[in-house]
Amino acid sequence: MSTLKASFEILKTQIENIGTFHIQLSDLLKEEVKKIETFRERQKEQRKKLQSIMEKVQKKKVAVYKRTIESKKTYEVRCREADEAEHGAEKITVASKNSEKGRQRAKQCRQAAKETEKLYSTNIVQLESVRRDWEETHKSTCEVFQQLEGDRISMLRCALWDHCNHFSMQCVKDDEFYEEVRKLLELCDITTDNNYFIGRKSTGTRPPEPILFESYYQTQKSGDSNGQAHFAGGGEEDMTMRGSDPLLGSSVNIRFDNLENPHSAPAPFGGASAVESDGGYAELPGLLGAASLPTVSADDDTCYIVDHEYVAKEEDELSVSRGELIRVLEQGEDGWWTAEKNGKTGLVPGNYLGKR
């Protein structure tokens, strides 16, 4: 409560503010991630197109290369056959019947070798053309890939840079919010909080008085008064009864002077003899002075006599002496009565008073 409670309240408020800013930062980061995903998908489509072109060129190059290799092998075979046929024709004698056939066969083999040579040469030219096309395509594709990679690195670097800026700004905001909490915590004071708690929760300025012995017979004897317990002096013991009410800010003190046996009359006050009145209370001639009698009338219903002396302990209380006549203006349910004496008004314990 008090300053510490205010510190908790400002901390709660600032944490809520920080949470709000974190949510906003989260939304901002989500937007950045969507941009990165869009950029990635666009580059992916571009790479697919380039890869498709490269695959077509590569397949064409491989096909022409295979055809060229086959034509080369055929060309080499035909050349060997032609050489063998010509070498065999030279060995045949002029008179031999097979000389003409040998020359004819050598001629055919040489013709086949020339045809395969021409095909092989054509395939070589075609392969070179395809190779150049493949090389140019490959070169341009690599350049595009390099550009795409540069764009990707640049884009991600800028995105990460922005993320770091956002995080730094969030940290600055968080520190500003926490600084507000620290400023209020500097005003938090232990003494102030303790005094505030005492002011709100205190039930009085003094601890409750202990409850002491209350004579059963004295309570019966004085039970016909105002409903509170009254006590008459007797014997040689000096006892005090104190009662405390949690609703009161202070304690009620009831003193018994010289408690005697329940059938004896009150001891004389100031050396004068006490005579029991019609109401069951002892007359105290020594205390019924002329100063107190003119203020109230004995026949008044609000007129009470003080059975026990009470000394005021608070500013709103009234000091009374035993035997005085006072006027009761209000009877409180908490045991404290508002009384008037000699023009002064204050609170007195109701069980200190009795009817005449």
d(CA 325, CA 304): 6
Residues 152 and 246 in one domain: no
Q: Supply the pLDDT for residue 93.
A: 54
Q: What percent of the chain has pLDDT over 90?
A: 40
Beta-strand runs (E) in the chain: 233-244, 251-259, 275-276, 282-283, 303-306, 325-331, 336-341, 344-349, 353-355
Phi, psi of 230 (to 5 degrees): -120, 155
22 and 151 together in one domain? yes
Confidence of residue 231 (pLDDT cuts 50, 70, 90): very low
**Domain holding 92: CATH number?**
1.20.1270.60
- With respect to residue 209, please indicate whether it lies within any of the assigned structural domains: no
Q: Does one domain contain both 28 and 153?
A: yes
- What does R_g of the chain's alpha carbons equal in angstroms? 62
Same-domain status, 172 and 300: no
- List the structure tokens of 316: 């709103």
Residue 195, domain member (yes or no): no
Report residue 76 CA to chain centroid gap: 88
Cβ proximity of 317 and 347 under 8 Å? yes
pLDDT at 348 over 90: yes
87 falls within a domain? yes
Is 204 inside any structural domain? no
Is the same domain home to 27 and 83? yes
Residue 273: per-residue pLDDT: 37
Predicted confidence (pLDDT) per residue in 141-182, tens digit: 999 999 999 999 999 999 999 999 999 999 999 999 999 999
- The secondary structure of the chain in percent helix, strand, coil, rounded to multiples of 5, reads 55, 15, 30
Nearest to 283 by CA among 256, 261, 305: 305
Q: Which one is predicted more confidently, 266 or 5?
A: 5
- The CA-atom distances, in angstroms, between 157 and each of 51, 153, 228, 326, 340 are 26, 6, 91, 96, 91
For residue 41, the cross-strand partners are: none
The residue count for the chain: 356
- Same domain, yes or no, for 165 and 23? yes
Amino acid at 314: E
Domain boundary, last residue among 135, 168, 186? 186
Q: Nearest to residue 281, comparing CAs of 352, 212, 347, 216?
A: 352
Position 315 in a domain: yes
| Tens-place pLDDT, residues 107-137 | 888 888 888 899 999 999 999 999 999 999 9
Report how far apart, in Å, the C-alpha atoms of 139 and of each of 111, 135, 153 are. Answer: 42, 6, 21
- The answer to whether residue 52 sits within a structural domain is yes
292 and 151 in a common domain: no
Same domain, 129 and 35: yes
Q: Are 243 and 209 in contact (CB under 8 A)?
A: yes
Please state whether beta strands 353-355 and 336-341 pair in parallel, antiparallel, or not at all (unpaired): unpaired
- Same-domain status, 230 and 182: no
Q: How far apart are CA 18 and CA 206, in angstroms?
A: 48
Q: Is residue 193 part of a domain?
A: no
Two tokens, residue 112: 């086949």
Nearest to 353 by CA among 267, 249, 279, 291: 279
Rounded distance between C-alpha atoms, residue 44 and residue 50, angstroms: 10
CB-based burial, 51-84: b 16+ in 10 Å, e otherwise? eeebeebeeebeebeebbeebbebbeebbebbee
What are the backbone angles phi and psi of residue 174, rounded to the nearest 5°? -60, -45
* 165 and 36 assigned to the same domain: yes
Give pTM, 2 decimals. 0.46
Claim to verify: residue 11 and residue 111 sit in the same structural domain: yes
Structure token digits, residue 145: 């890939």
Domains identified in the chain, total number = 2
What per-residue confidence (pLDDT) applies to 222? 53
pLDDT tens string 291-322: 344 445 555 678 899 999 999 988 889 999 99
What pLDDT was estimated at residue 213? 81
pLDDT of residue 271: 37
Measuring CA to CA, which residue among 342, 335, 225 is closest to residue 280?
225
- What does the alpha-carbon distance between residue 23 and residue 352 come to, in Å, rounded to a whole number? 71
- Highest mean pLDDT: which range of 186-200, 221-235, 258-272, 336-350: 336-350
pLDDT of residue 249: 37
pLDDT of residue 326: 92
Quick one: pLDDT band at residue 252, thresholds 50, 70, 90?
Answer: very low
Once rounded to an integer, what is the mean pLDDT over residues 2-25? 89
Q: How many helices (H) and strands (E) does the chain have?
A: 4, 9
Query: Is residue 163 in some structural domain?
Result: yes
Residue 6 sits in the same domain as residue 131: yes
- Provide the CATH number for the domain around residue 250: 2.30.30.40
Distance, CA of 234 to CA of 221 (rounded, Å): 13
- Residue 77, helix vs strand vs coil: helix
Instruction: Provide the domain limits for residue 91.
Output: 2-186
In this predicted structure, what is the pLDDT of residue 230? 42
Q: Residue type at 231? A: F
Domain boundary among 186, 205, 230: 186
226 pLDDT higher than 80: no
| Final residue before a domain boundary, out of 186, 207, 229 | 186
Q: Is 122 helix (H, G, I), strand (E, B) or coil?
A: helix
